[in-house]
Amino acid sequence: GESVGLHLPTLSVQEGDNSIINCAYSNSASDYFIWYKQESGKGPQFIIDIRSNMDKRQGQRVTVLLNKTVKHLSLQIAATQPGDSAVYFCAENIGAGNMLTFGGGTRLMVKP
Amino acid sequence: NAGVTQTPKFRVLKTGQSMTLLCAQDMNHEYMYWYRQDPGMGLRLIHYSVGEGTTAKGEVPDGYNVSRLKKQNFLLGLESAAPSQTSVYFCASSLDETSGSDTQYFGPGTRLTVL
Q: Do A99 and B40 touch (CB under 8 A)?
A: no
SS (HEC) of chain B: CCCEEEECCEEEECCCCCEEEEEEECCCCCEEEEEEECCCCCEEEEEEECCCCCCEECCCCCCCEEECCCCCEEEEEECCCCHHHCEEEEEEEECCCCCCCCCCEECCCEEEEEC
pLDDT digits (tens, 9 = 90+) for A53-95: 999 999 999 999 999 999 999 999 999 999 999 999 999 987 6
A23 contacts on B by Cβ (under 8 Å):
none
Per-residue pLDDT tens over the stretch A29-39: 888 899 999 99
Q: Across the interface, which of B50, B95, B104 has its CB nearest the CB of A100?
A: B104
CB spacing of A34 vs B104 below 8 angstroms: yes
State whether A43 and B4 contact (CB < 8 Å). yes
Q: What distance in Å separates residue B50's CA from the closest CA in chain A?
A: 6
Nearest to B95 among A34, A43, A98 (CB): A98
CB atoms B42 and A99 under 8 Å: no
| Residue A109: burial class (beta carbons within 10 Å; 0-12, 13-18, 19+) | middle
CB contact under 8 A, B31 and A98: yes
Rounded to an integer, the average pLDDT of B6-33 is: 95
In tens, the pLDDT along B21-42 reads 999 999 999 999 999 998 877 8
Average pLDDT, chain A: 88
Better pLDDT: B51 or B100: B51
